[in-house]
Amino acid sequence: MKIGIVGCAGRMGQMLIKEVLIHPDCTLVGAVEAPGNPVLGQDPGVLVGHDPTRLAITDDASSLFAAADAVIDFTAPQVTLRHAQQAADSNTALVVGTTGFDDEGQARLQAFGEKTFIFQAANFSVGVNLLLGLSQQVASILGNDYDAEILEMHHKHKVDAPSGTALALGRAVAKGRGVDLNQAAQRVRDGITGARTPGDIGFATLRGGAVIGDHTVMFAADGERIELTHKASDRSIYSSGAVRAALWSKNQGKGFYGMAEMLGFK
């Protein structure tokens, strides 16, 4: 399968290049970065310490979408939306790992699923997606008798907070309780906040060092606390999952998909 990578110079972009180059069912057909990026013109294979590919990193996303069967995008919300339009125009599958969409941007991204294959995941780890399912199930059993708090930590360079995975966990808890996360979320506590409001779904964000991604969902009541935790120690769990999604697109029609559909969770 012919796969292209946008945002190829970032941490995930480089991991994705490596994954595509070593995967027996994939061919790297191009890699794209933003205009002015110092990696432009370099060989993507050499960039990641692999054998040369005889390709050059460009800033021409349109040509990449025309050449690829699927493009994998871990960039930024507005950039991803432009790529989703290009994917729709060229009937190319788009696999999205970008986080930080607002409600309008998320709705726009999902709408492109009417025109082409769009796959989005806040986290491509199988373990994290099991955590999502467990969090929803536990929340549905415990209800508001247990206070729900979501704690996440990432490396010091991450630009959005809470993480996309933390928000996905919040949505799972909210779904288990049958509520709207936008109404129940408590993302910031500072100063004299007063007592905790029953039914809140709290978020706490930590940033520092080179932490790849730690997430814990806590359910606390008088006398006991349940904690569900996932800790990532290697980014390859994300890149392999994203490439798996790109390969999975080959046998799917247009639509908006996620990890639950690919893994058969629903």
What is the side-by-side strand order in the sheet with 147-154? 185-186, 201-207, 147-154, 213-221, 224-232
State the maximum Cα–Cα separation within the chain, in Å, rounded to a whole number: 62
Question: How is domain 2-120+235-263 classified at the CATH fold level?
Answer: Rossmann fold (3.40.50)
Q: What are phi and psi of 5, to 5 degrees?
A: -120, 130
pLDDT digits (tens, 9 = 90+) for 14-38: 999 999 999 999 999 999 999 999 9
Residue ranges per domain, the chain?
2-120+235-263, 126-232
pLDDT confidence tier of residue 55, bands split at 50, 70 and 90: very high
H helical segments located in the chain: 11-22, 44-47, 61-67, 77-90, 103-111, 126-142, 164-177, 181-184, 236-248, 259-263
Q: Is 156 part of the annotated catalytic residue set?
A: no
CA angle, residues 187, 12, 258, in degrees to nearest 5: 65
Residue 265, pLDDT > 90, answer no
Q: Is 158 part of the annotated catalytic residue set?
A: yes
Residue 104, pLDDT > 80, answer yes
Peptide bond into 162 cis (omega under 30): yes
Q: Which of 115, 158, 175, 254 is catalytic?
A: 158
Rounded average pLDDT over 153-159: 94
- 3-class secondary-structure state, position 245: helix
Note the pLDDT of residue 128.
93
Note the pLDDT of residue 123.
86
What is the rounded CA–CA span in Å between residue 28 and residue 135? 37
Is 0.85 surpassed by the pTM of this model?
no
Q: What are phi and psi of 93, to 5 degrees?
A: -70, 140
Q: Which of 18, 23, 83, 154 is catalytic?
A: 154
Chain center to CA of 238: 8
Q: Mean pLDDT, the chain, as a whole number?
A: 95
- 3-class secondary-structure state, position 141: helix
pLDDT-above-70 percentage for the chain: 100
Rounded average pLDDT over 142-168: 95
Residue 97, pLDDT > 90, answer yes
CATH architecture for segment(s) 126-232: 2-Layer Sandwich (3.30)
Residue 266, pLDDT > 90, answer no
